[in-house]
Chains A and B, each alone.
Chain A
Amino acid sequence: MKEFMMIFIGADYQELGLSPEELQDRMGKWFAWGDKMGAQGILQGGKALVPVIKRVVGKDRTVSDGPFAEGKEIVGGYYIVTAENADAVVEIAQDYPDYDLGGTVEIREVMVFNN
Chain B
Amino acid sequence: MEHKIVDHLFRHHYGKMVAILTRFFGLSHIETIEDAVQDTFIKATLQWRTQLPDNPEAWLTKVAKNRTIDLLRSIKAEKNRFQKVTSGVSSIQLNDLFLDHEIEDSQLRMIFVACHPSLKPKEQIAFALKTISGFSTKEIAAALLTKEDTIAKRLSRAKKSITANNIAFDFPPPKELQNRLERVMEVIYLTFNEGYHSTNTEKLVREDLCGEAIRLCKLLLKKEKLRSGSLYALFALLCFHASRLESKTNALNEIVDIREQDRSKWHFPLIEIANRAMTKSSYYDDFSIYHYEAAIAFEHVKAKTFEETNWKNILRWYSKLHELQPTSFTLLNIAIVNLQLNELNTAKKVLEELRINDLGQRQYLYFGSYAEYYLKQGERDLAKNYFEKAISKTSNSLEKEYLRKKVERL
The reply to whether chain A is a binding partner of chain B is yes
| A residues in contact (CB < 8 Å) with B | 13-14, 17-24, 26-28, 30-32, 34-35, 38, 45-48, 76-77
Task: Name the residue in A14, A24, A31, A77 with the highest tally of chain B Cβ atoms < 10 Å from its Cβ.
Answer: A24
Contact between chains at A22 and B3 (CB < 8 Å): no
- Alpha-carbon gap, A20 to B50, bound state (A): 19
- Encoded as 1 (CB less than 8 Å from any A CB) or 0, chain B from 337 to 380 comes to 00000000000000000000000000000000000000000000
Residues from chain B with Cβ under 8 Å of A76 in the complex:
46
Known: A24-B11, A35-B1, A46-B50. A19 touches B135 (CB 8 A): yes
Q: Does B138 contact A (CB under 8 A)?
A: yes
Nearest chain B residue, comparing its CB with the CB of A24: B10
A contact residues around B39 at 8 Å (CB) = 14
Q: Of the candidates A19, A20, A26, A35, which one forms a contact with B138 in the assembled complex, judged by CB atoms under 8 Å apart? A: A19
Q: Contact: B3 with A34, CB < 8 Å?
A: yes
Q: Which A residues touch B47, using CB under 8 A?
A: 48
Contacts of B136 in A (CB 8 A): 17-22
User: What are 11 sample pairs from A and B whose C-beta atoms fall under 8 A apart?
Assistant: A14-B39, A17-B136, A19-B136, A21-B134, A24-B45, A27-B45, A27-B49, A28-B5, A31-B48, A48-B47, A48-B50
- As a 0/1 sequence over residues 1 to 39 of chain B, the CB contacts with chain A under 8 angstroms (1 = contact) are 111010011110110000000000000000000000011
With CB as the reference atom, state the residue of chain B lying closest to A38.
B1
Q: In the assembly, what is the distance between CA of A28 and CA of B119, in Å?
A: 37
Whether the Cβ atoms of B3 and A48 lie closer than 8 Å is no
Contact B45–A26 (Cβ < 8 Å): yes
Find out whether the CB atom of B49 lies under 8 angstroms from the CB atom of A46: yes
The 7 closest A-B pairs by CB, nearest first: A19-B136, A48-B46, A31-B3, A20-B10, A24-B10, A20-B14, A27-B45
What 0/1 readout, one digit per residue, does chain B (41-67) give for beta carbons within 8 Å of chain A?
110111111101000000000000000
Interface status of B139 (Cβ within 8 A of chain A): yes
Q: Give the one of A20, A21, A76 with max B CB within 10 A.
A: A20
Chain B residue, CB-CB nearest to A14: B42
Contact of B10 among A21, A31, A45, A77 (CB under 8 A): A21
Task: Please give me the residue from chain B that is nearest to A39 by CB atom.
Answer: B1
Contact of A35 among B3, B5, B46, B48 (CB under 8 A): B3
Tell me the minimal C-beta distance from A17 to chain B in angstroms. Answer: 7
Chain A contacts for B138, CB-based, 8 A: 19
Contact (Cβ within 8 A) A34 B49: yes
For A77, list chain B residues within 8 Å (CB).
46, 49
Residue of B nearest to A16 (CB): B42
- Shortest A90–chain B CB gap in Å is 20
Task: Assess the A35–B49 pair: CB atoms within 8 A.
Answer: no
Please give, as numbers and ranges, the residues of chain B lying within 8 Å of A38 by CB-CB distance. 1
B260 CB to closest chain A CB (Å) equals: 32
- What is the distance, in angstroms, from B259's C-beta to the closest C-beta of chain A? 35
A21 to B12, CA, bound (A): 9
Cα separation A66 to B175 with both chains bound (whole Å)? 56
Bound CA–CA A14/B43 (angstroms): 9
The residues of A that contact B14 with a CB separation of less than 8 Å are 20
Contact of B52 among A21, A31, A48 (CB under 8 A): A31
CB-based contact B46/A19 at 8 Å: no
